[in-house]
Amino acid sequence: MRALIDRIEAVIQRDVGRGMEAVFQAARGGLHGAVQALADHHAPRIGLITGFFVPGGDPPAAETDGPAGAALLAFGFLGAGLDCRLATDTGCASACRAALARVGAGAVPIDHVAPDEEVDGLVDRWRAAGIDWVIAIERCGPSADGRARNMRGGDISAHAAPLDRLFSAEPWRTIAIGDGGNEIGMGCVPRALIAKHVPLGELNGCVVPADFLIAAGVSHWGAYAMLAALALLRPDWAAALRAGLDPVLDRAVVEAMVRLGPAVDGVTRRREQTIDALAMEVHHGVMAAVRAVC
């Protein structure tokens, strides 16, 4: 199983022009570590954190990468009989709601937090709900100076709630999925390495670590990989998890986000049915390659 999971990780670690090869090497094995630890837990209660607001978008909105993958994960987890909930910024809540509704997970609680709001109360709610695993996917996090930045170096702290504090709270264990060095979890990678290899990495690199980091060419692919790898390790969850690896469902999620969220592509900043400027056919080629490993 370890060999198969490492092959899945290799599929998603394809650089799309961000200089992430060195980060991939530093994070290698993160997928296996994450899914093995999660699979060892009989019935985990999972908290998802996502949302990367694009203030320069047309219109300003959440980007498609992140909420779409979180919805696929929620779909798989709920089908496997697991409890989950989701936290995001107030500005990203409508996109997350549209994504969850499209996969039939509209009942998943969404905890949305304003950029100037403290998260202590939310931490208490997650503890009371028995959350024991937290997964962040394409979630911006603070760099060395405490500011959250996008890949262009723009400071988006005014639009980003301090959900890194929720992520880093206890008693849960943490998994992070990222693709550009500025996401929660990238603190697992030496800052000097991100600064050297990733454009604007010295400025943007997130300093918040995770117990397990899954680095991918596009964060959305990390959701594919988690579903497939967990299905290998948990036969009792496998059918539900693999049902999330459906290109028709995946496309429908992105369409719903763009139409109803609204949501924008984080690279082009336009309201279009793409993720990181890549057509859904490209993403579904990666999905097919992940499925083929299994």
Rounded Cα distance, 46 and 214, in Å: 17
pLDDT, tens digit, 9 for 90 and up, residues 98-151: 999 999 999 999 999 999 999 999 999 999 999 999 999 999 999 999 999 999
Whether 284 shows a pLDDT value over 90: the answer reads yes
Whether 252 shows a pLDDT value over 90: the answer reads yes
Q: What is the pLDDT of residue 152?
A: 94
pLDDT, tens digit, 9 for 90 and up, residues 162-219: 999 999 999 999 999 999 999 999 999 999 999 999 999 999 999 999 999 999 999 9
Residue 6, classified by CB atoms within 10 Å of its CB into exposed (0-12), middle (13-18) or buried (19+), is middle
Q: Are 123 and 165 in contact (CB under 8 A)?
A: yes
Verdict on whether the full-model pTM lies above 0.95:
yes
Burial 37-69 (b: 16+ CB within 10 A, else e): ebbeeeebbbbbbbbbbbeebeeebbbbbbbbb
